[in-house]
Amino acid sequence: MADTSNFEFSLIMTIVNRGFADVVVDAAREAGARGGTVFYARGTGIHEIEKFFAVSIQPEKEVVMTLVRRDETQKIIHGIVKAAGLNTEGRGLSIVLPVSNAVGITHYNEDE
Amino acid sequence: MNKPTSETPVSDSAAKPLQERCADFMKRIEVLITIVDRGKGDKIVQALRESKVTYNLSSVGYGASGLALVDMLGLTSTEKDIIISVVPEERAHEILNILLYKFDLDKPDKGIAFTVPISGVSGPIALKYISGVQNHILKP
């Protein structure tokens, strides 16, 4: 069993407009993360629904989940915000969740 | 799973007042997120059900790790299943270990699983529902 007990992890969830998940993943990878998982979602925010010829169009979103080491969280989230934050076209919103247990993370052991 | 299941004697819990019976399942709970290759999700859910984790949501997703070049050549299978479940805090470690050994998660590219603590639930019925408490505990 890979020993990951020395590390504590955080989960960064980033919600971006659809098509910008790659920007988030690339930024996270550049800042030290190893990748991420993307799934599709649908935003229902108050400013989100646009009327288009009287047909309301739901905004399509992508959610990026990135599991990172806790000491690297700040660095990676800054990278993500810089590349796909609210001021950019991706309109990204990131949250960080604490991870209490994790298994299956093998790539951090390869370095050492 | 050949574990003895004598933890909740029905006759005993029926005698206690509702508040105490509720305290039995008012434990800290966590969200378990499992990410595996597409198609394996059902097996994960089945294994979780066998370990008495009854609230499982399955969704599709795409992995974004691996080398960009290999990705460009189309050699990687990036399609994933995401399973979101709710587990009691004291069983999180045990359930992660079950997943680890059953699905070889300690090998690279087999998938990951982790738990995130929950800080609130929208009421006792929701808590009962997501933590999979059987009805007989609530009913006198």
pLDDT single digits (tens) B36-60: 998 999 999 999 988 888 889 999 9
In a domain, A1, yes or no: no
CA atoms within 13 A on the CB side of B59: 15
We report the CATH number of the domain holding residue A81 as 3.30.70.120
- What is the pLDDT at residue B73? 64
Give CA–CA dist A11/A97, Å, rounded.
5
**How much is the CA Rg of chain A, to the nearest whole Å?**
16
Beta carbon pairs, A and B, within 8 Å: 86
- Of chain B, the end-to-end C-alpha distance in Å amounts to 30
* Cβ neighbours of B35 (radius 10 Å): 24
A13 close to B (CB below 8 A): no
Task: Quick: pLDDT tens for B120-137.
Answer: 888 877 888 887 765 555
The answer to whether A45 contacts chain B (CB < 8 Å) is no
Q: Which range marks the domain in which residue A25 is found?
A: 9-111
In chain A, the number of structural domains is: 1
pLDDT value, residue A90: 87
**B42: closest CA of chain A, how far (Å):** 18
On whether residue A35 sits in a domain, the answer given is yes
Is the distance from CB of A62 to CB of A16 less than 8 angstroms?
A: yes
| Structural domains in chain B plus CATH codes | 17-134 (3.30.70.120)
First and final C-alpha spacing in chain A: 15
Contact B106 A103 (CB under 8 A): yes
- Quote the pLDDT of residue B29: 87
Among A27-36, A38-47, B86-95, whose mean pLDDT is lowest? A38-47
Is position A83 within any domain?
Answer: yes
| B contact test, residue of A25, A95, A100, A106 with most B CBs within 10 A | A100
SS3 of A23-71: the string is HHHHHHHHCCCCCCEEEEEECCCCCCCEEECCEEECCEEEEEEEEEEHH
Q: Which two tokens stand for residue A34?
A: 């190893």
Residue A51 domain flag: yes
A2 in any annotated domain? no
- Of B95 and B124, the structure prediction assigns the larger pLDDT to B95
Q: Give the dihedral sign, CA A77/A79/A82/A84.
A: negative
